[in-house]
Structure 1
Amino acid sequence: MSRKLLIGTGVALSLLISPISQVFAEEPTKGERKQVDNVAHRGAAGYAPESTIAGFDLAVDMKADYIEIDVQRSEDGELVVIHDTTVDRTTDGTGKVGDLTFEQLKSLDAGSWKGEQFAGESIPAFEEILERYHGKVGILIELKAPELYPGIEEEVTEALKDHHLDKPQNEKIIIQSFNFESMKKMNGLLPHVPIGVLTYSRAHTTTEALQEFASYADWVNPSYGIVTEELVDGVHSLGMQVGSWTVRSQEAADFLFEMEVDAIITDYPDYVDPGNEE
């Protein structure tokens, strides 16, 4: 039996021995929204430049449960946080992330495109994110195109171990990727850290595909365009959770609430929790 299914079994047993009143108290009443994790996509990217300290700080101020980050590697081996595999869209530079040194990447302006008030925001180092935010907010770590960076799984593992985040007590570290083989590898390297698989393909929502994911993953994270009640029920039946992306409208957030997903990954944290306004 996989560690994922063992966890599910343990949860089921704990419910059996819990006081019945406690179990019923945790059931949502009719019309009550299920509690979901509010995940700030690349920080509060709707309001501040994505993948910058300004965006991540705002997400924390808006009381997001997690910040979502994308990890890549510089030409000289430093782990950095940026979404695209090139710097062209979100900085004043050009070129592939993996072809630029850490010094070159840090010298770029990653904020002005979003507004003059963000001028001088830089591309953060992965280490910088861990030091600044661990213990303050959950961190959903995406390995971006890990096939471009051989060995990045081991490097991310080492960084998390250095910060004692390889055995998170509150499951506030999650690692995800579109690269399933990379996630199988991460599951072996960090058996105590929840693993997520990202997909926008309905081919990955079949019973067979979900059963395969359940052998190494804790989360199935689909684009909201392919989310259905059947998919959510299928994922839950295998002891996994669903985190859907990327919410950029209130309508999309409301739809995902209706589908009873476990996490909503959004550029606008206030769409998930109206109390978290800027």
Structure 2
Amino acid sequence: MRKKRFRYVGEYREGMKLEVGDIYRDASGVGFVVTTDRIQPVAATPDESDTPKNGKDGVDGRDGKDGRDGSPGEVKAWNHRGEYKRQQYSEGDVCESAGSSFLCIAPTKSEPPSRAWKLLAAKGEDGAIYHTSSHHTRTETVIGGPEKITAICDSDTPKGAVLYVSSGGHVDLACANGRPQTRAIGIATAAASAGQPVEYITVGPVSCETWSLTPGIVHYLDPAIPGGITAVYPTTVGQFVVVLGVATTTTSLNLSIHYHLEQS
């Protein structure tokens, strides 16, 4: 059988004679090969039998085998070194500084925090301060809220009166002679009639022109006068020691209600 030879003849031109095996291209640059003995038409449109067709896609190959597992990593235990001291630390050392704990991630002598240290646990907030005494049987802390609050008062309330939270979320005159009226929360900054809103402050400087305080002395919730303030430490059994703060002038107090104690 005689083998066919291919011959590139360039771009097809009108009237060009083509033979089987001739390779040509049209004006758009698409290439064709003559595969029949049929005479090429005069028109510039190539014979459809000369147009190459795409073959079918091949079958996907099989997946390769999984690679081998890597070697186990090095396990290094942490070494607790206590409070930070100016000495050499290595990776894996743990120390404490200013209430926080840090992990050393690079050899260093620097004090944390720094690039050589990673924070493990930050210092928590300070808790409430509790005071104890040999003649106190129960200790509680009264925590102040926002600086100023407004609430409905159950009784006629003079300016400078110490208040506690009564039923229904109202406030009333506090007194250090029993519960719940001993749970002081603030001091009225203005007078108000019963059933009306009253503004009170829970912490910080507060003043009242009708007070007669002793500057520099701790003052307490009065166990005898509702809403009153006294510089006398309550000692009678059943009374409560509720610290209100330290007087800065005869009419000013640095309010800080932070605990109360029941005498027994």
Bigger radius of gyration among the two: 2
Q: More helix per residue: 1 or 2?
A: 1
Same fold (TM over 0.5): no
Q: State the TM-score, normalized to the length of structure 1.
A: 0.22
Q: State the TM-score, normalized to the length of structure 2.
A: 0.23
Q: More strand per residue: 1 or 2?
A: 2
Name the structure, 1 or 2, with higher relative contact order (CA <8 Å, separation 6+).
1
